[in-house]
Chain A
Amino acid sequence: MTEFAIETHGMSKRFGELAAVDGVDLAIPKGSIYGFLGPNGCGKSTSIRMLTGLLRPSAGDIRVLGETLPGAEERLRSRIGYMTQKFSLYENLTVLENLRFVARIYGLRGARAHTRIDELLSLYALSGREGQMAGSMSGGQKQRLALAAATIHQPELLFLDEPTSAVDPENRREFWERLFDLCAQGCTILVSTHYMDEAERCHGLAILERGIKRADGSPKALMQAMGARVVEVGGDELRALKQQLVAKPEVLSAAQIGSRLRVLVSNNVSDPIGWLGAETGNRPMDEVRPSLEDVFVTCTGERAGGQHVA
């Protein structure tokens, strides 16, 4: 009926005085990979816990797969999968024992469970490791096992809370390939991360900071709609130049990348190259395409810097 897997209006969660999540509106279409991007403590995990029914929202409406939360948690349990931030399977059980346990918990038994577990073992490159203790595996292997366990019942909606924080880049690439496989099979995926490259792979994205949604949209749209332009400045004594530039209200951020200084200039300045040239003397400089990191910095710098971003 509804084309959204997740819809929220004003979703909020307070812990005493602290507003961990503050009035977040979401509309996540079915069949997409949606990302929560933000620093630690921005409300990513709290949001996921509300959407999985583990926490009750202090305010706001939540609809997940057409069901209203809180209230429909138990009906949703078999339709959603959840991979926690910390490895939450049993370290003193083997790979196979863990998967058998989870299969039984989801009501899979006999030949069906057997086939499904075999399928997952080969899909997640765990064949041959059936007898290994989960606790003795590497970060990447644990993560693949956790994903296998979270998808054993073929959920319609999968939540992944910082799934790749303990995984090397190569395994991360592989992991994302598996996520796109799942997505192609019709599974909607909500993933939280603080890695820009991961966020860039998502179909849609919400940038969270201190419980507030700062921006959302596809990574491309976010980059296009960014309220700043990016100029890379070369030359000597970049550290001193950085100090000088960040003091200006027109400069949202300046960060050194190799031998260049990447400067975000507010859209209030109509000609950033000309303006910067006047500010810095005749240094080599080019305007470059914004990256997602630039989007993130402009969005989250808003409150800290106090500047207005269009």
Chain B
Amino acid sequence: MWLRVFAILIKELRQLSRDRMTFGMIVMIPLVQLMLFGYAINTDARHLPAGLLDLSATSESRAMVQAVSATQVVDFVAVYHSVPEAEAAITAGKVKAVLVLPADFGERLARHPQSQRELHASGSYFAAPVGQWLVDGSDTVVASAIRSLRSMPLAEVLGRPVTDSVPSLEVVNYFNPEQRTVVNIVPGLLGVILTMTMVLFTSAAIVREREQGNMEFLITTPVRPLELMLGKILPYVLVGFIQVGIILGAGHLIFKVPVRGGLDSLALAAMLFILASLTLGLVISTIARTQLQAMQMTVFILLPSILLSGFMFPYEAMPIPAQWIAEALPATHFMRMSRAIILRDAEVMQLGFDALWLIGFSVMGIIIATLKFSKRLD
């Protein structure tokens, strides 16, 4: 049995090393994607284009505009003179938000609680906001960035210290104190890239031999389906580890993503996920009739793996049915494990459920692929 597995494994590695395109993809896919996503995906919005509608035009209002600019959340790129004009600019997408400072800005500022030297015991004074943000609320990231400006301190505007309001609850950010998105993206990207390449490679594995006419010979030999499946999977485990190395190495060097957990834990988790993805590809390959179909099915798996696995959006925020679908995808389980190990220094033992799930998935995948594969042509 192992001689035949070895025969297929050697053959696959040889063919892989001759296929320059695929060989290049093994290295280039992780690098390009890491650069793309590492730089491009950023959920802390900065430098949003904004407009200004200053109806008061006083030194106080100019101080206010400067204080807002200083936060770097928005860049003022346009000045408007009426509310309809500002609204039209937002509709046209020229700016994401417009800061409206009313004509009585100075008066409102003086009455604002932050400008009171001491709190009125009664608290019954008239308190109104000093200005207003008109926001393109269709983009929730933009909306929440502007919302963070709602209670900005007015100290700089008033030119003196103010009575700071005390937050109700203090927040301590563990593991990513600077709140850099890339720290969360890179371990997740590990799962996305491995899903893509691993499923893609093996989904073509069986169907390619069928299309190129090799299968008719192979199925008249004594090779057994399980031997064929193992021989097809094992070489790509190596490929998977190369990619893990590339992503983590480049992520660490370029984006300063810390690798806190043990490499042994990470290797084990990656191994389980690689096996699960490869068997998923193999199942596709035994179902698909052509390489094109295999490719289409791969994309069908890839999209939910990106969108539902917790890579883009927190798993906990999704509705329950979406969570069920996510649970079924190997990428979800690996996403949890890789973030836990890389960022929180967790051990595989603490992630037993996800590890067992991936093992179960791989075993089921091999069984299904072996049973689906028939050594007949009818």
A: residues with CB less than 8 A from B are: 49, 52-56, 73-74, 77-78, 80, 82, 84, 86-93, 97, 100-102, 104-107, 109, 149-150
Contacts and interface: CB of A to CB of B under 8 A. Distances in A.
Interface string B1-35: 00110111011001100110000000000000000
Identify which of A52, A74, A87, A90 gathers the most chain B CB atoms within 10 Å of its CB: A90
A101 B7 contact: yes
A55 B377 contact: yes
A56 B221 CA distance: 17
A106 B377 contact: no
A82 B220 contact: yes
A54 B220 contact: yes
A161 to B, nearest CB: 9
A74 B219 contact: no
Nearest to B214: A88
B217 interface: yes
A97 B215 CA distance: 17
A288 to B, nearest CB: 42
Interface residues of B, number: 27
Given A86-B213, A93-B14, A102 B221 contact: yes
Given A56-B378, A105-B4, A90 B222 contact: no
Contacts of A101: 7-8, 10-11
A289 B4 CA distance: 54
Given A93-B11, A97-B14, A101-B7, A88 B216 contact: yes
Contacts of A55: 376-378
Contact of B213 (A82, A88, A102): A88
Contacts of A82: 217, 220
Identify which of B14, B218, B221 gathers the most chain A CB atoms within 10 Å of its CB: B221
A93 B15 contact: yes
Contacts of A87: 213
Contacts of B8: 101, 105
Nearest to A78: B222
Nearest to B377: A54
5 contacts: A52-B220, A54-B219, A92-B18, A101-B8, A107-B3
**A-B CB proximity, top 4 nearest:** A104-B7, A88-B217, A82-B220, A77-B222
B291 to A, nearest CB: 16
B11 A107 contact: no
B216 A54 contact: yes
